[in-house]
């Protein structure tokens, strides 16, 4: 058997149509409920993991620059999990390139940790099946569990039970008979926003609306899976927008409030409503930042993108289709 000590993987970001917001276990990154997303075909992350005996410490560079200690620590945690499973000790040199446009203000942790999970497992000689890979990516960033899967992915919260790590919490592909695009609408962001980890903890702990949203989400995810399978894109859109606005409502009700929606985001949400009133199929969703993502039919994506570019405060609109799961693109010994 041939052993490789260097591996490269590519993964794409995903946008949750039904959101993950809140953990029942912080250490193992176990969510309070199931979520469901579409993996995109734009803005990939390419990560190479090279094992190196002489290295005393792991090294991590992002877009050619040595990463800050906090980010490097999160990368090390994934490498440590892999090393513990295979019983190896070599340090690794990890380099990652994110094709997110400058000033996009988009989190790349989902594609980043999916690519890291795949490349590090391969470099250390660990053969992982889909669920294993998704669980490993999950430990870096919850949403990364879904970027290991292409198309539409449902991340199961898991059934809990004995093992603290809960092996039943991973993402898997769900059938979808829709031809959808997602328009990533990048807006000027006024203030620096609070990170998702901290914000979801604070929302769950202080928002009186949080429980109601978690309950509604359990229902939304089932309805979403049915709407996707039936090719009901209007149903998919309505659930997408309702679930996201509900999530942001729970944040606005947190004490003190967490507010990602900016004036420019609201202007985009207004335009989406206006487009619908003119008969277009367009539904909005938002994550832990002011940018808006708009779900639409693939055939209408280019013209709707033009309608969104004219909204004041919009910096850029990126048209995305449905993309693949994490892929190994190279290895060497």
Query: Which stretches of the chain bind ligand PMV, using CB under 6 A?
Result: 16, 19-21, 35, 107, 109, 141-143, 196-197, 287-288
Instruction: Report the nearest approach of ligand PMV to the CB of residue 63 (Å).
Output: 19
Structure tokens at 199: 């914000």
Instruction: Please name the residue that has the structure tokens 């053969």.
Output: 127
The helix/strand/coil state of 37 is strand
Nearest Cα neighbor of 252 from 210, 189, 221 is: 210
Q: H or E segment at 212?
A: helix 210-229
Structure tokens at 331: 């290895």
Instruction: Report the nearest approach of ligand PMV to the CB of residue 225 (Å).
Output: 15
Strands 282-286 and 292-297: antiparallel
Strand partners, 27: none
Q: In degrees rounded to 5, what are phi and psi of residue 31?
A: -80, 165
Instruction: Report the nearest approach of ligand PMV to the CB of residue 244 (Å).
Output: 9
Nearer to ligand PMV, 74 or 298 (CB): 74
Instruction: Report the nearest approach of ligand PMV to the CB of residue 48 (Å).
Output: 23
The answer to whether residues 80 and 91 touch, using CB atoms and an 8 Å cutoff, is no
Nearer to ligand PMV, 19 or 50 (CB): 19
Q: d(Cα 95, Cα 174) in Å, to the nearest integer?
A: 32
Nearer to ligand PMV, 107 or 311 (CB): 107
Nearer to ligand PMV, 244 or 317 (CB): 244
Q: d(Cα 37, Cα 155) in Å, to the nearest integer?
A: 8
Instruction: Report the nearest approach of ligand PMV to the CB of residue 110 (Å).
Output: 6
Nearer to ligand PMV, 220 or 287 (CB): 287
Nearer to ligand PMV, 3 or 198 (CB): 198
The answer to whether residues 310 and 265 touch, using CB atoms and an 8 Å cutoff, is no
Instruction: Report the nearest approach of ligand PMV to the CB of residue 153 (Å).
Output: 11
What angle, 0 to 180 degrees and rounded to 10, lies between the N-to-C axes of helices 130-140 and 109-123?
Answer: 120
Q: Which residues contact 196 (CB under 8 A, 6 or more apart)?
A: 107, 287, 288
Nearer to ligand PMV, 5 or 47 (CB): 47
Instruction: Report the nearest approach of ligand PMV to the CB of residue 298 (Å).
Output: 22
Structure tokens at 192: 């620096």
Instruction: Report the nearest approach of ligand PMV to the CB of residue 165 (Å).
Output: 17
Beta strands in 23-113 (DSSP E): 23-25, 30-31, 35-39, 45-52, 59-62, 65-66, 91-98
Nearer to ligand PMV, 19 or 331 (CB): 19
Instruction: Report the nearest approach of ligand PMV to the CB of residue 109 (Å).
Output: 5
Nearer to ligand PMV, 94 or 199 (CB): 199
Q: d(Cα 209, Cα 213) in Å, to the nearest integer?
A: 6
């Amino acid at each position: 058997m041939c052993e490789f000590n260097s591996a490269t993987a590519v993964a794409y970001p995903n946008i949750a149509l039904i959101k993950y917001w809140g953990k029942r276990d912080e250490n193992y990154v176990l969510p309070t409920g199931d979520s469901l997303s579409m993996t995109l075909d734009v803005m990939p992350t390419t990560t190479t993991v090279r094992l190196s005996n002489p290295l005393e410490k792991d090294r991590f560079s992002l877009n050619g620059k040595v990463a800050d200690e906090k980010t490097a620590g999160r990368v090390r945690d994934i490498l440590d999990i892999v090393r513990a499973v295979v019983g190896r000790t070599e340090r690794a040199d990890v380099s990652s390139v994110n094709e997110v446009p400058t000033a996009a203000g988009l989190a790349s942790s989902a594609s980043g940790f999916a690519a890291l999970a795949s490349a590090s497992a391969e470099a250390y000689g660990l053969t992982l099946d889909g669920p294993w890979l998704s669980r490993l990516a999950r430990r870096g960033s919850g949403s990364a569990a879904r970027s290991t899967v292409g198309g539409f992915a449902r991340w199961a919260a898991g059934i809990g039970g004995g093992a603290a790590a809960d092996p039943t919490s991973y993402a898997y592909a769900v059938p979808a008979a829709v031809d959808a695009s997602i328009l990533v609408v990048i807006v000027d962001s006024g203030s620096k926003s609070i990170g998702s980890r901290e914000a979801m903890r604070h929302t769950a702990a202080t928002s009186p609306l949080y429980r109601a949203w978690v309950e509604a989400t359990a229902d939304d995810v089932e309805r979403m899976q049915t709407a996707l399978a039936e090719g009901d894109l209007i149903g998919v859109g309505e659930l997408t927008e309702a679930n996201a606005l509900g999530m942001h409502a729970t944040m606005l009700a947190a004490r003190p409030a967490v507010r990602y929606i900016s004036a420019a985001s609201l202007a985009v949400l207004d335009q989406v409503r206006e487009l619908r009133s003119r008969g277009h199929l367009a539904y909005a969703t938002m994550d832990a930042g002011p940018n808006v993502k708009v779900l639409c039919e693939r055939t209408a994506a280019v013209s709707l993108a033009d309608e969104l570019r004219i909204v004041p405060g919009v910096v850029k609109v990126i048209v995305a289709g449905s993309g693949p799961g994490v892929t190994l693109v190279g290895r060497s010994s």
